[in-house]
Amino acid sequence: MARVDASPLPEPVDAEAIMTEVRRQVRADLRARLVAHGAAEEFSDPRVFDEVDGLFRRTLARDDRARLLLPDALDERWAPELALRLSTHRPGPVGSSILFVKRRVLQPLLRWLFEYALENFRRQDRVNVALMACLQSLAADHVKLRLRVDALERSPHRERETPVSGDTPAGR
Amino acid sequence: MTLACVIHRYGPQVAGGSEAHCRAIAQRLAERHDVTVLTSCATDYVTWRNALPRGESRDGGVKVLRFPVDRPRPMNRFRVLSDLVFDGRATVEEQVEWFAANGPSLPGLLSHLQVDGHAYDRVLFWAFRYAPTWFALPLVADRAVLLPTAEDDDLIRTSTLLGPYFRRPRACLFLTPEERDLVAARCEGPLPPSDIIGMGLDPAPAAPPRGPLDALGLPRDYLLYLGRVDKNKGCDRLFDAFVEYDRRVTADGAGNALPLILAGPVVLPVPAHPRIRALGFVDDRTREALLAHARALVMPSPYESLSIVVLEAWNHRRPVVVNGRCGPLAGQVRRANGGLSYYWPDEFVGAVRYLADHPDHADRLGAQGFAYVEREYRWPLVMAKIEALLDR
């Protein structure tokens, strides 16, 4: 990363101004790296990169699953079940004994494996939520744009711009 | 006034933010009031094993009543309950069981407050997540002052018991505006009367000598992490971000590559890296010298209700680099204008490079942090707020 220039700062030093400049430089370096690795088509225009990067970061900064629409549309429970609730179908003392062995012997014995899996499930869960949030943001933008396009196409101004038959180029 | 302070562990030998906060305030309250600390015989917050004698002792002007822990933390059951509670799938009974399993279990303390609670004019409770505060506060709710030390973590997001609980105390004392907002958002109905007190600090000793640092062979310039080296404190991500910082500075061949010095008990494997050094627990003299001579203090924790060590860095006029995802940390830094907040590893790299390359600006940010401590966190101001709330 190129170092951030120490431009003259007003008194007192403004921490937010410093971080704004640091962030700008960080993004510029990141874009240069991505373009160098073959993302020139998407990110040759810095404005496009800034918009895309901003969208992702804004979305990822809010880990708020309560505002997501997609989970409601999914049939089954979408989030990984991160807690293990032990049970047995056998009734009476046999069932109690089985549960006792599961809780006091097997569960502590296998705890290391459970925790290893749990950490991976948690990571996947975070990715799922992030992707859903990004998708929701893109879907909302897509719908807004489509509505605007529809409105433009319906507007009288748009109709006046439509070529009349006499203006149609010959041969069409 | 006759006051009681309820805390899960207590004493000079006990490390921990809430515990240090309680002890500092209890000792200052004891200058004007009759103060009794009600606590456990434990020093280990994981097992709660009894380590100190039960009964009455003195800590300066404070009377300390220690109650024995009647059972160690049931580790396996506690882990299972934590999975359920943090996943938001625990029943009400399982949530109550979680608070009991979190411990320390002190039936003697509960009986004491049930029988003699009326003898205290006010009972101050620290840290709602621990069993003494959770179970004892309702016994003396009409005279209870709660210092929740709440963090924006899974417990506060998922537990359904907190809404009614936060309404119960007579008053609340918060460490930051962010903590107050967090509790207010979870509280069913309006918050009890409250104030934001933070933590009091005495002026730092002027220019502590570098002697202890030279004895350890530490470099002149370094980035400091002070506290428990733990995943819960964000240290795993700090290591990743620091290694990336070092790689980039080295690759560029320009600029000042700061080493990372860690001081505090280590409970997370520290990567073998030529510019990361873990000192383990350090004495007070070394601690003060480390703070005074650091280029900056880094605080990567995502969960804090107040970072005392950030205030201590400012008290030594040093700037801080904090995890901006932690609301109270970002808020502290914003109000003080005393450091840089990062959200992403790239921003950490940029922030540290900036402070390394611009020592004059780093010093000025530290000085602005110091001015903030002078404005907000000196003991007379903090104690005046507490006294005003106790009188209400």
The predicted-structure confidence for A120-160, as pLDDT tens digits, reads as follows 888 888 888 888 888 998 899 999 999 999 999 998 765 55
B196 and B76 fall within a common domain: yes
- Three-state secondary structure call for residue B292: helix
Residue B134: phi and psi, rounded to 5, are -60, -45
Q: Which residues of B99-129 are buried (b: 16+ CB within 10 A; e: fewer)?
A: bbbbbbbbebbbebbeeebeebebbbbbbbb
In chain B, residues 60-99 whose CB comes closer than 8 Å to chain A? 76-77, 79-80, 83-84, 86-87, 89-90
Q: Are B350 and A4 in contact (CB under 8 A)?
A: yes
What number of helices (H) and strands (E) belong to chain A?
Answer: 8, 0
The residue range of the domain holding A96 is 67-73+81-153
Domain presence at residue A172: no
Domain presence at residue B187: yes
Domain presence at residue A119: yes
A87 and A123 fall within a common domain: yes
pLDDT reading at B248 higher than 80: yes
Domain presence at residue B49: yes
Report the pLDDT value the prediction gives residue A168, as an integer from 0 to 100. 44
Domain presence at residue B206: no
**pLDDT tens digits, A80-121:** 777 777 778 888 888 888 888 887 888 888 888 888 888 888
Give the DSSP letter of residue A38: I
Name the band, by pLDDT with cuts 50, 70 and 90, for residue A62.
low
Report the pLDDT value the prediction gives residue B76, as an integer from 0 to 100. 83
Domain presence at residue A170: no
Q: Which residues of chain A make contact with B338, given a CB cutoff of 8 A?
A: 15
- The count of domains in chain B is 2
B193 and B44 fall within a common domain: yes
Q: Which of A141, A142, A144, A132 is nearest to A66 (CA)?
A: A132
B248 and B384 fall within a common domain: no
Which residue of chain A is at minimal alpha-carbon distance from B336? A15
ipTM of the complex: 0.80
Domain presence at residue A88: yes
**pLDDT tens digits, A3-51:** 555 555 457 899 999 999 999 999 998 899 899 988 878 888 888 888 8
CB-nearest partner of A13 from B86, B357, B361? B361
Calculate how close chain B gets to A116, using CA atoms only, in Å. Answer: 13
What is the Rg, in whole angstroms, of the alpha carbon atoms belonging to chain B? Answer: 21
pLDDT reading at A170 higher than 50: no
B48 and B134 fall within a common domain: yes
Which residue of chain A is at minimal alpha-carbon distance from B359? A6
Contact with chain B for residue A3, Cβ under 8 A: yes
Domain presence at residue B350: yes
CA end-to-end span of chain A, whole Å? 55
The residue range of the domain holding B237 is 211-376
CB-nearest partner of A84 from B83, B90, B350? B83
- The count of domains in chain A is 2
CATH of the domain at B341: 3.40.50.2000
- Which stretch of DSSP H or E encloses residue B146? strand B144-147
B29 and B145 fall within a common domain: yes
A86 and A57 fall within a common domain: no
